[in-house]
Amino acid sequence: MKIGTQNQPFFPEDIKEKFRYLKNAGFEGFEIDGKLLVDHLDEVKEAIAETGLPVTTACGGYNGWIGDFIEERRLNGLEDIKEILTALQQAGGKGIVVPAAWGMFTYRLPPMVSPRSQAGDWKAVSESLVYLDSIAKETETTIFLEPLNRYQDHMINTLADARRYIEENTLRNVKIIADFYHMNIEEDNLSQALHQNRDLIGHIHVADNHRYQPGSGSIDFRKLFDQLKSDGYDGYLVFECRIRGNDPEAEYLKALKHLQQCLV
């Protein structure tokens, strides 16, 4: 397994300097914003060639969720994702992280009545995934379907939820991304959930139980990494977290060392 990261405010803004910084810090991959990749593809490819640091995946950078309530926005999002997947193919990236939606609706807060039926949710997300499955096949990439916790999305909350979409729609180029923060809220047993879905897990996001940097909370990363190892996972572990502490850069690099030690 290798450790990657999303962007942070204290990383250099210049793309090539950013890649050099990440390489020197000890990260082994970069999960890039999709729009940044599309808009600066040539510069990103040059940075990859210079540093040897790969773009692992894209996350974000498109307008419209795959389960959007507004059909025009859903379709616009799909076309944005198609463009990102094409750029990822050129940059050597594995694929793109997509949830059903983020912050669009939750049953846990008022009004608690969705403007669309559960059958409608299933239809919208399934149609999006079937389309993206075909685009991923063409671009030799993967769609990483991300379950979010119940307060951020109402459609896909557990790894089992994501698995159902993949299996019932016979998707060949869609895998599950397991996010430890969301799993900590939704799964009864994190290790068991990882094991039960080992055949479909293709990507990992790491944060501690409170969404801050790994090692600052209560998640037992060594236990989860050992589970992933025993199940044969050899992909990336990508930081997706906020940072708590007076010196964000120092705390972030400390968290990197913590995860490196947990992998030993």
The pLDDT of residue 104 is: 97
Given 28, 31, 186, 240, which residue is catalytic? 240
Tally of domains in the chain: 1
| Secondary structure in 3-state letters for 169-229 | CCCCCEEEEEEHHHHHHHCCCHHHHHHHCCCCEEEEEECCCCCCCCCCCCCCHHHHHHHHH
Please name every residue paired with 57 in a beta bridge, in sequence order, or none if there are none. Answer: 31, 95
Characterize the bridge pairing of strands 174-179 and 142-146. parallel
The string of pLDDT tens digits covering residues 17-26 is 999 999 999 9
**Whole-angstrom distance, CA of residue 128 vs CA of residue 118:** 15
The string of pLDDT tens digits covering residues 110-159 is 999 999 999 999 999 999 999 999 999 999 999 999 999 999 999 999 99
Please state the rounded mean pLDDT for residues 81-99. 98
Average pLDDT over the chain, rounded to an integer:
98
Which CATH number is 61's domain given?
3.20.20.150
Please say if 167 is a catalytic residue: no
Please state the rounded mean pLDDT for residues 82-97. 98
The string of pLDDT tens digits covering residues 18-59 is 999 999 999 999 999 999 999 999 999 999 999 999 999 999
The string of pLDDT tens digits covering residues 209-243 is 999 999 999 999 999 999 999 999 999 999 999 99
The pLDDT of residue 262 is: 98
Residue range of the domain that includes 119: 2-263
Using alpha carbons, select from 121, 148, 45 the residue that is nearest to residue 88: 45
Please say if 146 is a catalytic residue: yes
Q: Are 5 and 30 in contact (CB under 8 A)?
A: yes
The pLDDT of residue 69 is: 98
Given 146, 167, 186, 249, which residue is catalytic? 146
Alpha helices in the chain (DSSP H): 15-25, 34-39, 41-51, 71-91, 118-139, 159-168, 180-186, 190-196, 221-230, 248-263
The pLDDT of residue 105 is: 97
Please state the rounded mean pLDDT for residues 158-166. 98
